Structure 1
Amino acid sequence: MRVDAHHHVWDLSVREQSWMVGPELDPIRRDFAIADLAPLAAAADVTSTVVVQTVGLVAETVEFLELAASNDLVAGVVGWVDLTASDVQQSLSGLMARPDGSYLKAIRHQVHDEPDVDWLLRPDVQRGLAAIADAGLAYDLLTKTPHLPAAIQTARNLPQLTFVVDHISKPVIGDPLEPWASQLRELAALPNVTCKLSGMVTEAPWATWKPADLQPYADVVLDAFGPDRVMFGSDWPVCLLAATYAEVAETADSLTSKLTPAERESVFATTATRTYKL
């Protein structure tokens, strides 16, 4: 059994994906449905997945909850609410009160798109994050290296909230490890933070990357967090810009090949199951 803790779906006839800017994203500028993922997941021995928001709309979260309730593959949803809104607690309560509301496991916002690298530290955002903790949900951190200092302080401010770092905070593969590595280690020192081993292939040169290029970054993550706070995610279909689903899964196997069987079980199943209460 394996859990893919991070993938997306979208239907461009329902809404545009505003982040798809530039011709380089043309390969994924089409619809992707759970039916497209299912055979790929089965081939990689993935039995459960977590579908993750792509746009800042509660309507998408509702659609994902409906998807999870109607499909055995999707075990959880990382959705979106406006953290800065005064009624964020009511928004969360409304989603969780739905018949399919139990599938809501976490909330995420595209922090790395905010011009202010300290966006997470805004008082209204901190209030919204506290409401997520009160609701018993986790929070996915979508950040890049410049956002890590604010993420560290935020995780310190809210020890009652479980944070999940998406895509190892998106270091540019091939650049020096510092300051990303030191800052990620500082974040990992906080017990309420976990990390997804995901999204690396698209932070590397798409056409020429190889697993060895990713290994130093994966080693930092595994050493800093320990396998019991690391979880595998494919980032499908975004990963298709640089690798197939099978290649991402095989690369994750390669990057974790030195772990014990129990440690690999944590990375590929246990951490995600525990963190997202799947």
Structure 2
Amino acid sequence: MSDPLPLVDAHHHVWNLDHRPQPWLHEPGHEPIRRTFALDDLRASATRAVAGRRLAGTVLVQCVTSLDETREFLALADTDPLVGAVVGWADLTSPAIGNVLDELRAGPGGGWLRAVRHLVQGEPDPGWLQRPSVERGLRAVAERGLGYDVLIRDHQFNQAVGLAERVPELPLVLDHSGKPPIAKGELADWERDVRRLAAHPQVRCKVSGLVTEADHRTWTTDDIRPVWDILLAAFGADRLMFGSDWPVCVLAGGWNHWAATVEELLAGCSPAETSAVLAGTATGFYRLDSSQPKEGTPCS
């Protein structure tokens, strides 16, 4: 009997508020997720299949600017069979960034570090990604065979495009599709910029975080479809990857609701395209197929 087709969630978080505060959760509107979320909570939430596939692996993504959090995530990945890769945080501006990355990779679970991320969306400097210190840090990331998760808002695309032009050897993935302003319904500027970024072949894109850019209570698949159509045309299915942004997506319907929506969006795609979005692109970018086997069973 052949193995079931995999489903990879390329973007989710966990946090323990008794152990590590998450200051951003104190912003208005975040009350429903202002509690601890663990991997077992994800297992309990992610019960719906997408195109016949059930969750088989995930990419755990940093939440706060903390090396200790990254170390904890790597140790968690080393013991839990659901996590196949970690996107961690390190201070890209530090002259010692190379040593820091080497120490992370040499520590417990360090082999699961596959990319880094910084919360550029909160940086007021419109050229933060082009700062010499940051670019030096990102070159150190590339030299170690790691990728970079680009977290920007729709007005910050120039930074990402500039990075793609200046450091073409660095694999990039655009988190949350660059946060298109779905609730406003004004996609023209975002579409122009996402096509500019997609013109660089080293860039991938996460189909994630879209429901929290729409009206949290009233969004439908029809609100998401224009964004999906643009992403599919700009990147092609082989450069798109499914992500839930769980548990943030709880604010706008939750994991299963988003999974059902993605299945609707994929209805016109070929089996190969569906496979790319649901597993293949994330597996390639985060090298999930090179992960060492761990004891236990993934989410069923």
Q: TM-score, normalised by structure 2?
A: 0.91
Aligned residues of 1:196 and 1:233 also touching (Cα < 8 A): yes
Q: 1:259 aligns with which of 269, 287, 292?
A: 269
Residue in 1 aligned with 2:223?
Answer: 213
Counterpart Cα distance in 1 of 2:65 and 2:108: 22
Letter in 1 for 2:33: I
1:199-235 deviation digits (Å, cap 9, x = unpaired): 0000001010001101001111111000000000000
> SS in structure 2 opposite 1:140?
strand
Q: Is the counterpart of residue 122 in structure 1 residue 131 in structure 2?
A: yes
Q: Distance in 2 between matches of 1:25 and 1:135?
A: 36
Q: For the residues of structure 2 that align with 1:118 and 1:93, how far apart are their CA atoms?
A: 27
User: 2:108 and 2:31 mapped to 1: Cα distance?
Assistant: 37
Mapped to 2, the partners of 1:40 and 1:145 lie a distance apart of 29
Segments ≥4 residues shifted beyond 6 Å? none
Shift in Å, 1:40: 2.9
Q: 8 Å contact 1:41–1:47 — kept in the other structure?
A: no
* Paired AA for residue 135 in structure 1: R
Distance 1:262 1:101 in 2: 32
Q: What's the CA shift for 1:23?
A: 3.2
- Note the alpha carbon deviations across 1:184-210, whole angstroms, 9 max, x for none: 001001011000000000000101000
Q: Deviations over 1:41-94 (max 9, x none)?
A: 354301000010000001000010011111000111000000000100000000
**For each residue in 1:157-184, what CA deviation from the matched residue of structure 2 results, as whole angstroms up to 9, or x when unmatched?**
1111000000000011042112110110
Q: Say which of 146, 152, 155 aligns to 1:143.
A: 152
Aligned to 2:186: 176
**AA partner of residue 4 (structure 1):** D
SS at match of 1:205: coil
Taking structure 1 as the reference length, the TM-score comes to: 0.98
Q: Would you say 1:97 and 2:102 are equivalent positions?
A: no
Cα deviation, 1:3-25, whole Å, max 9, x if unaligned, reads 00000000001121122233310
Give the C-alpha shift of residue 133 in structure 1. 0.2
CA distance in 2, matches of 1:38, 1:87: 37
Question: Per-residue CA shift, 1:240-259, capped at 9, x if unaligned?
Answer: 00012110111111122111
Task: Using the TM superposition, give the Cα deviation of residue 262 of structure 1 relative to its aligned residue in structure 2, in angstroms.
Answer: 0.6
Comparing 3-12 with 166-175, greater Cα deviation is found at: 166-175
Contact 1:133/1:160 (<8 A) preserved: yes
Q: Which runs of 5+ in 2 are unaligned?
A: 1-5, 289-300
> Who is 1:20 aligned against?
25
Q: For structure 1, which segment, 86-95 or 170-179, has the greater mean C-alpha deviation from structure 2 after superposition?
A: 170-179
Higher relative contact order (CA 8 A, sep 6+): 2
In structure 1, the partner of 2:118 is: 109
What letter is aligned with 2:174? V
* 1:65 to 2:70 alignment: no
Taking only the aligned residue pairs, the percentage that are identical comes to 48
Tell me what 1:242 maps to: 252
Q: Which moved more, 1:253-262 or 1:37-46?
A: 37-46
Q: What is the aligned length? A: 278
CA distance in 2, matches of 1:80, 1:99: 16
Q: Distance in 1 between matches of 2:229 and 2:126?
A: 26
Q: Whole-Å Cα distance in 2 between the matches of residues 197 and 171 of structure 1?
A: 11
Q: Shift in Å at residue 117 of structure 1?
A: 2.1
